[in-house]
Amino acid sequence: MLRTPGETRASAYLEVAQFVYSTVVRLNAKNFTGWLELCADNFSYSIQAWSPEIRRDMTWLQHDRSGIDSLVRQLPRHNTDESIFTRHATVYTIDFDRDDAATVVSALTVYRTDLDGGESRLFAVGHYHDQVVRDGERWLLGRREVRLDTRSLGIGTHYPI
Amino acid sequence: MPRNAAQWNRTPPLPPTHYVDPLVYTSEEILAQERDKIFARAWSIACHESEVPERYDYRTYRHPAGKNLVVVRGDDGTIRTFFNVCPHRGNTILYNPAGNAKHLLCIFHAFAFDCRGNCVAIPREKAGYQERIGKGDFGLRAVRTEVGFGGFVFVNLDDRAPALETFIGEALDGMRASLEAEPLEVFTFHRAIVRTNYKLWHDTNSEFYHDYMHYHNRQTSMAAPGYFERRYTAFPNGHAQVGDQVVNYEAYEGFKSRDLSFPGMALNQWKMVDLFPGMTYNLRGSSLRIDTLCPISPLETAIEFRGLGLKCDTPAERAARVHDYNTIWGPFGRNLHEDLLGVLGQGRALERGQTYLVHGREEDSTIHDEVGMRHFYAEWSRWMGRSSSDPSADGASGVNGAAHREAALS
């Protein structure tokens, strides 16, 4: 069945949004290997925040794909708070740079749920700023910049968020 | 062999200098005294001079004695500190953590103050106060301020306290040349609120036996030459230095040797000094980390972390320092999360009843000796006028430590 241009566009929007959500699903499942499978070879990842205290932009984590791969593979060797981290993303905007590349901004909230007793608390609020690229029939993350509004993060975490 | 309740509560078979009563970490009364007897009299780091680089820049600071302060760079370039409290009706003057303001204006009734703490405007002053009271009576409360030891803004609420140089003494001599060769600049700041006692964080910074908790440190430090020869040096006023080491960062997969250092330091060299009662200079070659502590309650602490490089850094150099710092010490870094997890666990255990905390390791003041903590608590006991191993011994509280502990456990 032939699609109108509008239907094609809507389909692309839906694909990209669903792709962003699929990255969140894998992160929430602590399936970091699976999450990295959704990242391009030249993937870059960073967590940044603006500090009103020192009036500067801060970069709290920055890695390329191999750096993130190394980071998550070594997690079992570290002592880590194994609470459940639930990321809730809502895609706000999708701007297609080309048919096969888009810039996506999503609102992000992250909850931390204690293993002991199951109490959930807000961990962080911010945004994902993603660059996504089409690779054949699938989309991949080319870049993810996590911009946090929350800067008081308690004991922090070893996990990418 | 497991111990029964009586055995659990018995003092350890060690000198009293080698253990700490858990009340020292959990008592509201003791924290109130710490604020009065220690924090209100000791020097504290409020911020770094690079946080107020321009005239009229300000930076607020919650002092561990419970006072809200503001650091201001004056029109003459001098950095001064005041209570961030309007002397009229006690309102907060500055709400933002940092900014630039030629006049500090209280939004409540528009009282205005200049950068030197003078009250310069009172709306309808004569109509309301006539000649009875005026601007000259409404100056801000000035707080002693000295800038030094790497450009840090130290403050002291006690107008009669010894000078900063006297308080620090020789404790920072081992890294001072590196700190003062070039102006420094803060590149990252974050505050962690953790359910633990502030002293437990300082303890963590004062002992390296817990390196076993850190996979990164086991790989890069414990296995490196010279680790077990690192020695503690205790200084007057409760400060302590840990011996230097060259760290083998490449032993941790994905990490590499640092490309940068601080002036006068070898690549990958690590220096560390703990200052009483709650500050730490931690210089891992390419970046400096400063910890400062503010108790919120006995088992809740605000820990502030600052990362610094050289003000003259090129963008590429700064990026390298930021990366080096955060891979270990940022909120998502390898080590900081583990250290915070450790003191969170201590806080959790203390909430639910705990026995004495043992600082009993003696290894000729080398790296796993717990002399750094013992030195801190000897100073703490001196300032507090009560023993950290038996804080009720002076009878001030009228509470028997062992009985109180048993009551807490029952």
Domains located in chain A, CATH noted? 5-148 (3.10.450.50)
Type of residue found at B297: S
- Write the ipTM: 0.94
Q: How far is B396 from chain A (nearest CA, A)?
A: 35
The answer to whether A153 contacts B331, with C-beta atoms less than 8 Å apart, is yes
B340 touches A: beta carbon within 8 Å: yes
If we measure between CA atoms, which residue out of B276, B303, B283 comes closest to residue B292?
B303
Q: Which residues of A touch B336 (CB under 8 A)?
A: 156
How is residue A7 written in tokens?
């239907």
Q: Could you tell me whether strands A138-148 and A39-51 are parallel, antiparallel, or unpaired per DSSP bridges? A: parallel
Minimum CA–CA partner of A75 in chain B: B334
If we measure between CA atoms, which residue out of B118, B97, B94 comes closest to residue B106?
B94
The answer to whether B98 contacts A157, with C-beta atoms less than 8 Å apart, is no
Which residue among A60, A66, A154 sits closest to B326, beta carbon to beta carbon?
A60
Type of residue found at B220: T
Q: Which residues of A touch B187 (CB under 8 A)?
A: 54, 56, 58
Type of residue found at B75: D
CB neighbour list of residue B401: distance below 8 Å, 6 or more residues apart = B21, B23, B390, B391, B392, B393
Domains of chain B: 44-165 (2.102.10.10), 171-371 (3.90.380.10)
For the beta sheet containing A120-135, the strands, ordered from the edge strand earlier in sequence to the opposite edge, are A56-64, A39-51, A138-148, A120-135, A101-113, A84-98
Rounded to whole angstroms, the Cα distance separating B171 from B192 reads 26
- Strand residue runs (E) in B226-356: 232-234, 240-246, 269-275, 279-284, 287-297, 300-310
B258 touches A: beta carbon within 8 Å: no
Query: For A67-118, how does the pLDDT look when each residue is reduced to its tens digit (9 = 90+)?
Result: 999 999 999 999 999 999 999 999 999 999 999 999 999 999 999 999 999 9
Q: How far is B392 from chain A (nearest CA, A)?
A: 32
The answer to whether B97 contacts A53, with C-beta atoms less than 8 Å apart, is yes
Q: Which of residues 388-407 of B touch A (CB under 8 A)?
A: none
Count CB-CB contacts under 10 A for residue B171. Answer: 24
Type of residue found at B254: G
- The residue whose two tokens read 């000649």 is B131
CB B54 within 8 A of CB B73: yes
Rounded to whole angstroms, the Cα distance separating B84 from B199 reads 26
- Alpha helix positions (H), B243-351: 315-329, 336-351
DSSP B149-213: TTTEEEEES-TTSPPHHHHHTTTTHHHHHHHHSS-EEEEEEEEEEESS-HHHHHHHHH--GGGGG
DSSP class of residue B221 equals I
Q: Which residues pair with B193 in a beta bridge?
A: B302
The length of chain B is 410
Exposure on the CB side of residue B276, measured as CA atoms within 13 A: 29
The answer to whether A78 contacts B334, with C-beta atoms less than 8 Å apart, is yes
- The residue whose two tokens read 């809507």 is A10
In total, the C-beta contacts within 8 angstroms joining chain A to chain B are 107
Rounded to whole angstroms, the Cα distance separating B137 from B115 reads 17
Which residue among B186, B215, B327 sits closest to A78, beta carbon to beta carbon?
B215
The answer to whether B331 contacts A51, with C-beta atoms less than 8 Å apart, is no
User: Residue B87 class from Cβ within 10 Å (0-12 exposed, 13-18 middle, 19+ buried)?
Assistant: middle
Query: For A107-137, how does the pLDDT look when each residue is reduced to its tens digit (9 = 90+)?
Result: 999 999 999 999 999 999 999 999 999 999 9
The answer to whether A152 contacts B193, with C-beta atoms less than 8 Å apart, is yes
Phi/psi of residue A126, nearest 5 degrees: 180, -150
The length of chain A is 161
Q: Which residues of A touch B (CB under 8 A)?
A: 47, 51-56, 58-62, 66-67, 70-71, 73-74, 77-81, 151-158, 160-161
Q: Which residues pair with B100 in a beta bridge?
A: B57
Q: Which residues pair with A95 in a beta bridge?
A: A103
Q: How far is A21 from chain B (nearest CA, A)?
A: 23
How is residue B253 written in tokens?
């997969």
Minimum CA–CA partner of A153 in chain B: B192
Cα B278 to chain center, whole Å?
4
For the beta sheet containing B279-284, the strands, ordered from the edge strand earlier in sequence to the opposite edge, are B184-194, B300-310, B287-297, B279-284, B269-275, B240-246, B232-234
Question: Omega of the bond prior to B277 within 30 degrees of 0, cis?
Answer: yes
Q: How far is B308 from chain A (nearest CA, A)?
A: 11
If we measure between CA atoms, which residue out of B392, B300, B409 comes closest to residue B21?
B392
- The residue whose two tokens read 């390898």 is B334
pLDDT in tens, chain B (410 residues): 999 999 988 999 999 999 999 999 999 999 999 999 999 999 999 999 999 999 999 999 999 999 999 999 999 999 999 999 999 999 999 999 999 999 999 999 999 999 999 999 999 999 999 999 999 999 999 999 999 999 999 999 999 999 999 999 999 999 999 999 999 999 999 999 999 999 999 999 999 999 999 999 999 999 988 999 999 999 999 999 999 999 999 999 999 899 999 999 999 999 999 999 999 999 998 999 999 999 999 999 999 999 999 999 999 999 999 999 999 999 999 999 999 999 999 999 998 767 899 999 999 999 999 999 999 999 999 999 999 999 987 544 444 455 444 544 44
How is residue B377 written in tokens?
């608590």
CB B80 within 8 A of CB B117: yes
The answer to whether A78 contacts B336, with C-beta atoms less than 8 Å apart, is no
